[in-house]
């Protein structure tokens, strides 16, 4: 009986993230969310492209919610056996990021007509997001490389460096590679010939996808960098140790989330490239 009384709340707690994610995914896309998307890209909604945008918003919300639920459930499975319950920002962000990447694969793209043709207009990253946002994740990876080099130097000098730093460095590189591959996929996928308002919506969707990947990917890489930095703390003492601890605290709770959110939700009107001859 005692085991039942203990096991029932635990089971409810484990099921709760999935139930909340299911409720969020099942809800209709709100008018406010649609208006926010159109305002971010100065997109005029029409009868032709309205369902296209709504379908994108519903798909991304569904997979991101599933990712958040997976991250929360993973952390609960990790902490409950240790008699602790809580929320971990990194696992939630990692789950959200995996959901966001999956959503880009699952988003319905524009269909070709009876005669298969696509525009030859070249698409550049700068058309869909600022150059700084395009290079943000590689720049964060550069910080990870610098910290990995510093860790190697300290290790050679027999300083105490936690081995977890190497795992954090590897994770940072993996996330960087995944972000760039996903962004290239969004950028380069063929764009069939369609009405101007439909193409405008397709461009807005590409832009929002690339912003989300840049913001979420940068935040995740920077959390890996903070993990590397934490692995260096045993080799530090005095003011240096205290300074690093303060950087971890301020960055982890304020700077990294603000940066990731700002990039992911930034306003960016998409400039259409001049029409080119169709490629049959």
Mean pLDDT value across residues 73-88: 80
From the CA atom positions of the chain, what is the Rg in Å? 22
| C-alpha span between 279 and 276 (Å, rounded) | 9
So what's the pLDDT on residue 274? Answer: 46
In this prediction, residue 275 has a pLDDT band, given cuts at 50, 70 and 90, of very low
Report how far residue 193's alpha carbon sits from residue 96's, in angstroms, rounded to the nearest whole number: 33
Q: Which residue has the higher pLDDT, 157 or 142?
A: 142
Q: Which of 272, 119, 148, 270 is nearest to 209 (CA)?
A: 270
| pLDDT score of 2 more than 70 | no
- Confidence check: pLDDT of 109 > 50: yes
Contact 192, 118 (CB under 8 A): yes
Q: Which pLDDT score, from 0 to 100, does residue 203 have?
A: 92
Residue with tokens 């903070």, as numbered in its chain: 226
Tens-place pLDDT, residues 4-52: 445 567 677 778 888 888 898 889 999 999 999 999 999 998 888 888 9
What is the predicted pLDDT for the residue at 120?
A: 56
Tell me the per-residue pLDDT of 164-196, one tens digit each, with 9 for 90 and over. Answer: 999 999 999 999 999 999 999 999 888 877 888
Calculate the average pLDDT of the chain.
Answer: 85
């Amino acid at each position: 009986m005692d085991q039942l009384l203990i096991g029932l709340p635990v089971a409810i707690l484990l099921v709760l993230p999935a139930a909340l994610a299911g409720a969020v995914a099942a809800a209709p896309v709100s008018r406010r969310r649609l208006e926010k998307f159109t305002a971010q890209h100065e997109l005029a909604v029409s009868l032709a492209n309205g369902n296209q945008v709504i379908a994108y918003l519903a798909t991304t919300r569904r997979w991101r919610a599933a990712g958040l639920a997976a991250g929360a459930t993973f952390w609960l499975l990790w902490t409950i056996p240790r008699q602790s319950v809580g929320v971990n920002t990194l696992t939630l962000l990692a789950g959200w990021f995996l959901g966001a990447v999956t959503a880009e694969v699952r988003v319905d793209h524009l269909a070709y007509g009876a005669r298969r043709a696509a525009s030859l207009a070249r698409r550049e990253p700068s058309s869909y997001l600022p150059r700084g946002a395009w290079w943000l994740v590689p720049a964060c990876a550069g910080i990870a490389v610098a910290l990995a080099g510093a860790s190697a130097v300290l290790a050679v000098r027999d300083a105490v460096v936690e081995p977890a730093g190497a795992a954090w460095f590897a994770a940072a590189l993996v996330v960087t590679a995944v972000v760039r591959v996903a962004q290239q996929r969004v950028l380069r996928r063929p764009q069939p010939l369609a009405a101007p308002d439909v193409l405008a919506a397709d461009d807005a969707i590409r832009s929002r996808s690339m912003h989300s990947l840049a913001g979420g990917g940068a935040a995740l890489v920077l959390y890996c960098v903070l993990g590397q930095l934490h692995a260096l703390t045993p080799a530090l003492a005095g003011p240096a140790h205290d300074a690093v601890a303060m950087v971890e605290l301020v960055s982890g709770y304020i700077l990294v989330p603000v940066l990731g959110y700002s990039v992911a939700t930034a306003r960016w009107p998409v400039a259409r490239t001049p029409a080119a001859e169709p490629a049959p």
